[in-house]
């Protein structure tokens, strides 16, 4: 499916449905120890965070495996500076633009675990088992992670492009505020209660609200999103 893919933000030529095997294979190829120079999030500058080594179940000190996905980074570093988040989101949205407008496909399973990241904050998108060709934008069945699913996607027969946009919004939210497994983005009542601190960049807040527009008929497509001030 990705034979003609020419994006530096994706791991090319992956069309395999055994996700566990293929993901491990890709991470081993791309994985790089995530050691950012920024003092705010550098684990080497924080007491108690031994980045080069970890202890296994037997309390034995082992060399840390040379690999990271965005979920692991977010768990370790808790929060990211706005400049880093902006750089990550620009790459993610550029990739979605390429998928939707040039390849004519939807990814279908955008989530932190499917975004690899290196020490320069450069990302690679993996796991294309849920990818679909766009046929009037409609996808019959959702097959991604529920936390990142658009509300309408759980009901079936939804627009895969808008589901990717929503999933990117969830990624954005988790990068801004940290990982919280109790979040329920697809619940309208809960969604209306999501709090956004005043300390967050105004452009970031506006983009987040656009990506997580609950009513899919009002949620913008990638072409409009790419013109947003936060991404320009």
Q: By C-alpha distance, which of 151, 156, 111 is closest to 129? A: 111
What is the secondary structure of 3-32 as a DSSP string? TT---TTB--S---S-HHHHHHHHHHHH--
Q: How distant, in Å, are the alpha carbons of 135, 152, 188, 192, 219 from that of 214?
A: 23, 9, 7, 9, 7
What gap in Å lies between CA 77 and CA 185, rounded to an integer?
Answer: 23
Q: Which two tokens stand for residue 193?
A: 């209660």
Name every residue whose Cβ is closer than 8 Å to that of residue 84 and which is 6 or more positions away in sequence.
36, 38, 41, 121
DSSP 8-state secondary structure symbol assigned to residue 98? I
Rg (CA), the chain: 18
Identify whether the C-beta of residue 106 lies closer than 8 Å to the C-beta of residue 100.
yes
Q: Tokens at residue 91, please?
A: 């790459």
**Catalytic annotation, residues:** 109
Q: Which two tokens stand for residue 74?
A: 């977010």
Closest by CA to 188, choosing from 221, 228, 154, 222, is 154
């Amino acid at each position: 499916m990705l034979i003609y893919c020419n994006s530096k933000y994706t791991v090319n030529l992956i069309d395999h449905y055994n996700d566990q095997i293929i993901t491990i294979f890709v991470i081993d190829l791309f994985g790089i120890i995530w050691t950012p120079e920024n003092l705010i999030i550098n684990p080497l500058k924080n007491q108690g965070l031994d980045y080069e080594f970890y202890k296994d179940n037997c309390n034995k000190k082992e060399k840390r495996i040379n690999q990271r996905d965005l979920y692991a980074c977010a768990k370790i570093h808790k929060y990211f500076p706005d400049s880093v988040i902006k750089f990550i989101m620009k790459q993610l949205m550029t990739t979605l633009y390429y998928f939707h407008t040039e390849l004519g496909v939807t990814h279908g399973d955008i989530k932190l675990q499917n975004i690899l990241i290196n020490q320069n904050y450069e990302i690679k998108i993996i796991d294309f088992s849920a990818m679909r060709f766009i046929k009037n934008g409609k996808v019959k069945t959702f097959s991604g992670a529920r936390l990142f699913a658009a509300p309408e996607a759980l009901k079936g027969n939804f627009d895969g492009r808008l589901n990717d946009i929503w999933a990117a919004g969830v990624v954005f939210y988790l990068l801004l505020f940290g990982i919280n497994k109790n979040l329920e983005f697809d619940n309208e009542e809960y969604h209306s209660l999501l709090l956004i601190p005043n300390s967050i960049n105004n452009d970031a807040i506006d983009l987040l609200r656009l990506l997580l527009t609950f009513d899919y008929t009002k949620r913008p497509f990638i072409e409009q999103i790419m013109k947003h001030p936060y991404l320009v």
